[in-house]
A and B are shown apart, each in its own frame.
Chain A
Amino acid sequence: MSTTDASDSAIRSLIAELIGSAPQAPSLPELDRRDPRRPRPRPRRVRPRRGRYRSHPLALLGAGLVLLVASLLVLVASVGQRQPVAAAAQLRQIAARAAGRPVLRLGRDHWLLTRQVYSTSLVVASARSHPATRARASVIVTDTQWSDSFGQACISSSSGPARFASSAAKTSWLSSGLSASPTGQPVAGCPNFVSADDANGFAAGIGAVDVSTLPRSPSALARELRTATTGIEGLDQSPPGGDGGFEQAVALLIGPLTGTTPSFDAELYRALALLPGIEQLGPTTTQSGATGLGFSAGSGPDRSIIVVDPATGALLEARNVRTRTALYDLAGIGQSFGSSNSVVVSDGFGNSFGKVDWVDPVGSPTVVDTGAIPSDLSPPPPPTALVTATARRGVAVGPLNDLQDRLAALFGGPGGGSGYAPAPGGAVLSFTFNGSRTQVEDYAGALRRSALIASVVVRFGQ
């Protein structure tokens, strides 16, 4: 064999090894969400600029000086930003480890079983105006949740005893007529959140979030998280705050989720790396004693923090974040301590409402049959169908509401849903039907014929 052949062979092997490491091609569902009839901007006609500008030695010197000054300014500015840059690097490396996670498929009678433990602060609302006498306690809650692929869920929530930072806080708590130990534990049930928007709703539903419509491109995902245009109402409705999409990303890390792909976690961490203001905190120990890498968004004592296992990308703990489960549990926790209205979770009704001090998603999600759910919970059967419609780009909520009213008058309204969530490819509407299959087909057919709607997906449950 000649030396040229040998070198060609070595190069060919090297390139084969490099290409052999290629990741899966990114699936770009946003392309299918695009409206094919959308008129594209007309190509611009570029006129040749021959002879229009003449370079002058002094002009070149001036431009060079401007470039030099700009480079120095960028260099100076970058000195103070090393920490966020390192955070992005760490997150990209974690993303590489998080790829290839097995995907759990949910069949018709399957439920996603998830568990989490969280700690939340309770404050007596009537004492809020008197900080010195504020009755404050923290409670650790253990939740077991079953979620199906139609947005339905059952939950069993068990609160521990109230813990007080001082005897004054305890006295104030007890004098408000509240007990220190919860009664009637666990609080369990299958809330009647049949609508997809409720199920996806951050502020109400506890069902699994279907992420199959999210973009696979990390930069597009980061953009949608940052601008609250994911098309998933629950994520988009959470208060934007100042963390630039971090809270939305954390909500996805906490889950539960359906419609994931093996690369979803990797894409999410890569999107996190692109969000502004992410800082790394180095090795961080969780409440359960595990150690991982900490990351935060923003600054100050109220900032949200996540602790991640760098070897697997698993979320070990999230701190100072809002969770849908805590929001749902709120009323039940209050009643457990003897009050229906006087107890609120966290300090106030604003953006901190529903925040937990920390949440630990215990273990990994598993798939179970309906029979595995305690029979006293009476899990609901699957709905007749889940219909998801994507409006044409730029169509506002008003005409879409009118359309839904007309269709409801013609075919009967859906059992739930009609959420409106803006997304770059067009607003997303979700409906859950409990009526006949014919009603679903008529309704979906009319949606498809509407000039306002770009695409309709129907998933039958029964």
Chain B
Amino acid sequence: MAATDGEVYRKYADDLTRFATGLVGPSDAADVVSEAVLHCLDSPVWVTVTQKRAYLYRSVYNEAARFHRATGRRRSREQRAASSESVDAAEVRPEVLAAVVRLSIRQRAVIVLTYWDDLDPTAIASLLDISDGSVRRHLARGRSRLKETLDVDD
């Protein structure tokens, strides 16, 4: 019997949330996953999808990219407008966020899948539906930027 939408989601929920955390940070990860999954399951092609895991990962990636575009400028305005009595979102060290924020969304995705999920470039290419070469290029650039931020020399 085919798994229900709820069962499919629960199977991958934790992995998707961790992936989203790597893409947009802990504050917005749950939002991104929720939106991605709901859009995904509302899609007319969902019933025909055979590789549900990869489809969900790509959906989270696309939602994170959309979120990044839509809220990037607004967020910076919000932070400036938030007055001094505001509270800090003390969830992860600022240095960590500062390092990751220098990466593009695609570089973050490739870095997270490489260093957290231990996937090789071919597997990442298959998961994100991009070319092998593109994965290697984004991985190299992402590593290079992180090393600059972390002040580690090759």
A residues sitting closer than 8 Å to B (CB atoms) are: 3-4, 6-8, 10-12, 14-19, 21-28, 30-32, 34, 36, 40-44, 78, 82-83, 85-86, 88-90, 92-94, 96-97, 215-220, 263, 267, 270, 280, 282-283, 293, 310-311
Interface class of chain B by DSSP: helix
- With A86-B82, A92-B27, A219-B31 as given contacts, are A23 and B152 in contact (CB-CB < 8 Å)? no
Partner of B6, one of A8, A25, A32, A280: A32
Partner of A23, one of B6, B26, B81: B26
Q: Is the CB of B22 within 8 A of A86?
A: no
Interface class of chain A by DSSP: helix
Q: Tell me, rounded to whole Å, the shortest Cβ–Cβ distance linking A270 to chain B.
A: 7
Q: Is the CB of B44 within 8 A of A40?
A: yes
Q: Is the CB of A28 within 8 A of B38?
A: yes
A-side contacts of B85, CB under 8 Å? 282-283, 293, 310
Q: Tell me, rounded to whole Å, the shortest Cβ–Cβ distance linking A11 to chain B.
A: 5
B-side contacts of A92, CB under 8 Å? 27, 78, 89
- With A82-B77, A89-B82 as given contacts, are A42 and B29 in contact (CB-CB < 8 Å)? no
B-side contacts of A15, CB under 8 Å? 22, 111-112, 115-116
Q: Tell me, rounded to whole Å, the shortest Cβ–Cβ distance linking B29 to chain A.
A: 6
Partner of A28, one of B9, B74, B99, B154: B9
- Closest B residue to A20 by beta carbon equals B92
Interface string of B106-118 (1 = CB under 8 A from A): 0000011001100
- With A3-B153, A10-B150, A34-B5 as given contacts, are A218 and B112 in contact (CB-CB < 8 Å)? no
Partner of B81, one of A4, A89, A293: A89
CA distance A3 to B154 in the complex (A): 5
Partner of B92, one of A18, A86, A89, A293: A18
CA distance A67 to B26 in the complex (A): 34
B-side contacts of A218, CB under 8 Å? 30-31, 34
Q: Is the CB of B31 within 8 A of A270?
A: yes
- With A18-B92, A85-B74 as given contacts, are A93 and B87 in contact (CB-CB < 8 Å)? yes
- Closest A residue to B151 by beta carbon equals A10
Q: Is the CB of B48 within 8 A of A43?
A: yes
- With A12-B115, A82-B81 as given contacts, are A18 and B152 in contact (CB-CB < 8 Å)? no
Residues of B12-65 whose CB lies within 8 A of A: 13-14, 16-18, 20-22, 25-27, 29-31, 33-35, 37-38, 41, 44-48
CA distance A12 to B115 in the complex (A): 5
A-side contacts of B143, CB under 8 Å? 7-8, 11
Interface residues contributed by chain B, number (CB under 8 Å): 61
Q: Is the CB of A10 within 8 A of B82?
A: no
- Closest A residue to B154 by beta carbon equals A3
Q: Is the CB of A93 within 8 A of B86?
A: yes
Q: Is the CB of A11 within 8 A of B111?
A: yes
CA distance A7 to B75 in the complex (A): 31
Q: Is the CB of B88 within 8 A of A93?
A: yes
- Closest B residue to A78 by beta carbon equals B77
Partner of A25, one of B16, B22, B81, B154: B16
Q: Tell me, rounded to whole Å, the shortest Cβ–Cβ distance linking B59 to chain A.
A: 13
A-side contacts of B9, CB under 8 Å? 28, 31
Interface string of B85-129 (1 = CB under 8 A from A): 111111111001101100000000001100110000000000000
A-side contacts of B96, CB under 8 Å? 14, 17-18
CA distance A269 to B143 in the complex (A): 36
27 residue pairs from A and B, CB less than 8 Å apart:
A6-B152, A10-B146, A11-B146, A14-B150, A15-B111, A15-B116, A19-B18, A19-B112, A21-B25, A21-B92, A22-B26, A23-B29, A24-B17, A25-B14, A25-B16, A26-B33, A26-B34, A31-B9, A40-B46, A43-B48, A83-B81, A85-B77, A89-B75, A93-B89, A218-B31, A282-B85, A310-B86
